A and B are shown apart, each in its own frame.
Chain A
Amino acid sequence: QKEVEQNSGPLSVPEGAIASLNCTYSDRGSQSFFWYRQYSGKSPELIMSIYSNGDKEDGRFTAQLNKASQYVSLLIRDSQPSDSATYLCAVIVIGNQFYFGTGTSLTVIP
């Protein structure tokens, strides 16, 4: 069964804090992992991709992948009110289908 699990939240953090978002996936054969941001009523917007174990940094965002634990996370440093959105974890499974998690709602409190 191919599933992507995320804590639906809501997650609230104060402005300037680190927000930590987590995702687990069930398909051990998955090789490609993505984080998207979705504002209410809008389409998913790519934040970053990660393909290898370890950390990948892009500005205030850091993605972490642990294939042995089937776990991928996203850290947002210096969180801003504009970061308030739903964060979607997506995984490409065998068969090349994109599976999305249900998303974690993040609110950054000024």
Chain B
Amino acid sequence: EPEVTQTPSHQVTQMGQEVILRCVPISNHLYFYWYRQILGQKVEFLVSFYNNEISEKSEIFDDQFSVERPDGSNFTLKIRSTKLEDSAMYFCASSLDDKNEQFFGPGTRLTVL
């Protein structure tokens, strides 16, 4: 069964460093998403991406964040200058269209020291 994959599973970085989180969505899906979940809190929407551009973004997704689909399979989230409060689980998801089910990857745990 096709699934969303994410790498790395755990990323440790120093405050102020740049990180890139990687995702491979399900191959025939057209919409891609990033979410974050701070420990003990709810899953929060960051951004959605369709047809090589951002379609929606939340207030959390400020200028420190960017997304890219560098090739036909990968979808990345970059955080330019990490802060302590960026420590969270980051989930990638994909869907066939923007009204239906989203399927989540296993997540990347980001720890900012």
Q: Which residue from A38, A92, A95, A100 sits with its C-beta under 8 Å from B99?
A: A92
A36, A95, A97, most chain B CB atoms within 10 A: A97
In the assembled complex, B58 has its CB within 8 A of some CB on chain A? yes
Q: Are B104 and A43 in contact (CB under 8 A)?
A: yes
Q: 8 Å CB contacts to B: which residues of A92-110?
A: 92, 95-103
In the assembled complex, A45 has its CB within 8 A of some CB on chain B? yes
Q: 8 Å CB contacts to B: which residues of A1-57?
A: 31-32, 34, 36, 38, 42-46, 49
Whole-angstrom distance between the alpha carbons of A101 and B37 in the complex? 12
Minimum distance in angstroms from B10 CB to a CB of chain A: 11
Besides A44-B91, A98-B45, 15 other CB < 8 A contacts?
A34-B101, A34-B102, A42-B106, A42-B107, A43-B89, A43-B91, A46-B101, A88-B42, A92-B98, A95-B56, A97-B56, A100-B42, A100-B43, A101-B42, A102-B41
